[in-house]
Structure 1
Amino acid sequence: MSDDPVEYVVENKPCLVSLEEGKKYAWCTCKLSKTQPFCDGAHKGTEHRPMVFKAEKTEDVLLCACKATKSGPYCDGAHNNLEDVYAEASDAEILSMKDSVQIDQDANGKALVDGGAYVMTPNDKNDTVVGNLRYQPVIAKEDGATKLSLHRLTVSAGTTKWMEYEGVDTVLYFVSGAGTVDIAGREFNVDKEAGLYVRPGEKFRVITDEEMVIYATACPLLTDLTVTDDNETTFQTEQEERYIAFDEATANVMANRIYQELVDKKVGSNEVTQFIGQIPKSRAAMHRHLYEEAIVILTGYGKMWTGTKVTEVKTGDVLFLPHRQGHSVECTDEGGMQLMGVFYPSGSPAINY
């Protein structure tokens, strides 16, 4: 593909298209087509040629329109780095949502906004207690989730019983505290700001000398946590590496934001991706994802906008975003905001439309 400058005829964001299994498509590489993201022959007379590909299955996908992707024809989030500042809400967008209804949390700590999205503050009173383990669901089928189950686990000093989300991938994130996680007989030393992957068919337990707060994601089936006295499972040695810690020095830069994928395909998690991100004081442009997402606010505060409604968010809150639900997180904290996110199906948090 040539790097010669040419005129853009589309915005620097991907195009949502529906592909049909077995059908061939010609993806524009010259940026001149008026039928983006597909070729209309406008490249004739230039050195550009379209990329022809066959759809492997019938599905909705995001095809690159900025032509900066390294995964053509698919968007890889490269459009976010074409500007110095991550796409922020325009004056027109802010004006269009000036009459958004302020939604406060109800008696259960939940603020329900547009499209089934919500913000909630976990309440210790909702915990189930088993020995030195306290846990509660914060995203479940009853909340409108179709793929992601999310639990908050609070562990005090000692050794928990064995835990399992049967038959699904499990991803742990350590909010606070340090200790050891025993995955079916294999021990991992863990600390805050890190993720750990537990394969289907493995039980795990936590050993610690201090209080730990952990978020556990189970995917792709909505599954409750089971707690038992015994472990009859075996650590699956075909995937030895499971633990990934946040490292700001090697994090991905996305305009004026950074993020790092923790648990993903590199440690064998093919269903769910976990990431940690940092955002400055700003209001993102409204956007959508082709995945179901959960976000935990680790530090900072602000608002979440969903089109006709808005609600406050703060440290410790959990955000649930259904598939394709428009949203914009605004950080109003001068110190910025740090968050942990998980989503299904797996991919990159930089890909949106």
Structure 2
Amino acid sequence: MSDNPVDYVVENKPCLVSLEEGKKYAWCTCKLSKSQPFCDGAHKGTEHRPLVFKAEKTEDVLLCACKATNSGPYCDGAHNNLEDVYAEATPEEVESMKGSISIEQDQNGKALLEGGAYVMTPNNENDTVVGNLRYQPVIAKEDDATKLSLHRLHVSTGTTSWLEYENVDTVLYFVSGSGKIDIAGCEFDVNKEAGIYVRPGEKFRVITKEDMVIYATACPLLTDLTVTDENNSVFQNDYPERYVAFDMATANVMANRFYQELVDKKVDSNEVTQFIGQVPKSRAAMHRHLYEEAIVILTGEGKMWTGTKVADVKTGDVLFLPHRQGHSLECTDEDGMLLMGVFYPSGSPAINY
């Protein structure tokens, strides 16, 4: 790297920094600083000025280094669109993981990788059956999750009992089938490739004339699914917008990939973000997130790499990624891979480091 500050260009990925509540920081806006992402005065003599801000709380954050963000000083994922191809594993990275241990699934369908990450194939034999509902946890406290609970629900023709994850946000994703979701007495028509938000304190039930597969996420506290015969909750009319369907016309393009945030802050879900995304045949560069994440493989197959371990993934599998766990998802399918993801705390799936 050049010692000449005029020639210095930072990498197109954010910087992980620890902020202290009440402390002021000067974020570099010109790419000239050698103290990225902070200003070191190298802008002197140019038209650039640093952005000075005060930290509202003590926390780890990702500050923009590419200077293309629209949310400065914070990364908003804009660096992903500065190249024609999403950041892929370099030849050196691929070579370094050639010796990775291939992990097979155990009797419960789980392939445990590094740092508590895993790939799991849900087994129907683990379902709990209540009327026309079969359900099972695929991410829970027993899996060392700290924020996200994830259940797979199978619903056959009819109306389920009332369901609830008590006192937490609930986000549903519809993998297959169609029907209605009754949230505390307010019904929504639902179809596959869509999400819906159930606010804390509201019960819900599923009404359908066909088989449906649904993934239910609850956070930020780990909790189990409660099944009851009666609804004693009230729909919160101050938040009428709950249902978001996939629409390619509004999807976000990241180089040769796309994603669309379904349930997020636009429907007042401030704790969890749900998205659907497409991955072409490729192997992503190893990266990390500041959130806990669950991924459901909707179509396609490939591998999940975590550094020294690797596991096969295929349609129907669930992936659990603890926060800050390094990982690289590889799609080996010529037709690409479609996935649904949910993570806490809320944000953008384009933000990683």
Q: TM-score range by the shorter chain?
A: over 0.9
Distance 1:286 1:314 in 2: 20
Unmatched tracts of structure 1, length 5 or more: 1-5
> Aligned partners of 1:208 and 1:246: how far apart in 2?
20
The residue that corresponds to 2:138 in the other structure is: 138
2:252 corresponds to 1:252:
yes
Q: Which residue of 2 aligns with 1:155?
A: 155
Hey, what's the Cα distance between the residues in 2 that align with 1:217 and 1:329?
Answer: 21
1:3 is aligned to: none
CA distance, structure 1, for counterparts of residue 83 and residue 254 of structure 2: 9
Checking the alignment, whether the CA contact within 8 Å between 1:9 and 1:34 is kept in structure 2 is no
Percent pairwise identity: 85
TM-score by length of 1: 0.98
Aligned to 1:107: 107
The size of the alignment, in residue pairs, is 348
How far does residue 146 in structure 1 lie from its aligned partner after superposition?
Answer: 0.1
Aligned to 1:87: 87
Quote the residue 2:177 is aligned against: 177
Contact map agreement 1:290 1:324 (CA 8 A) in 2: yes
- Per-residue CA shift, 1:12-59, capped at 9, x if unaligned? 000000000000000000100000000000000000000000000000
Letter in structure 2 aligned against 1:215? Y
Tell me the distance in 2 between the aligned counterparts of 1:128 and 1:24. 53
What is the 5 A alignment of 1:38-57? 38-57=38-57
Distance 2:11 2:104 in 1: 35
Matched, 1:187 2:170: no
Deviation at 1:248, TM superposition (A): 1.1
Partner secondary structure for residue 146 of structure 1: coil
Alignment-mate amino acid for residue 336 of structure 2? G
SS at match of 2:16: strand
Moved over 6 A (4+): none
Pairwise CA RMSD:
0.6
Name the SS for the 2:94 alignment partner. Answer: helix
Q: In 2, distance between residues paired with 1:108 and 1:190?
A: 31
The letter for the 2-side match of 1:157 is T
Is residue 2:198 matched to residue 1:198? yes
The CA deviation at 1:322 is 0.1
Shift, 1:9, TM fit: 2.8
User: How many angstroms apart in 2 are the aligned matches of 1:150 and 1:310?
Assistant: 23
Structure 2 unaligned segments of length 5 or more: list them: 1-5
The 1-side partners of 2:7 and 2:196 are apart by 45
Superposed, which structure 2 residues align to 1:214-233 within 5 Å? 214-233=214-233
Q: Please list the CA deviations of residues 90-115 of structure 1 after superposition, one character each: whole Å capped at 9, or x if unmatched.
A: 00000000000000101110000011
After TM superposition, the score normalised by the length of structure 2 is 0.98
Change (3 A) 1:308 1:187: same
What is the one-letter code of the residue matched to 1:225? L
Aligned mates of 2:149, 2:8 — CA distance in 1: 41
Name the amino acid aligned to 1:227: V
- Whether the 8 Å CA contact 1:300–1:333 is kept in 2: the answer is yes
Name the CA distance, whole Å, in 2 between partners of 1:288 and 1:100: 18
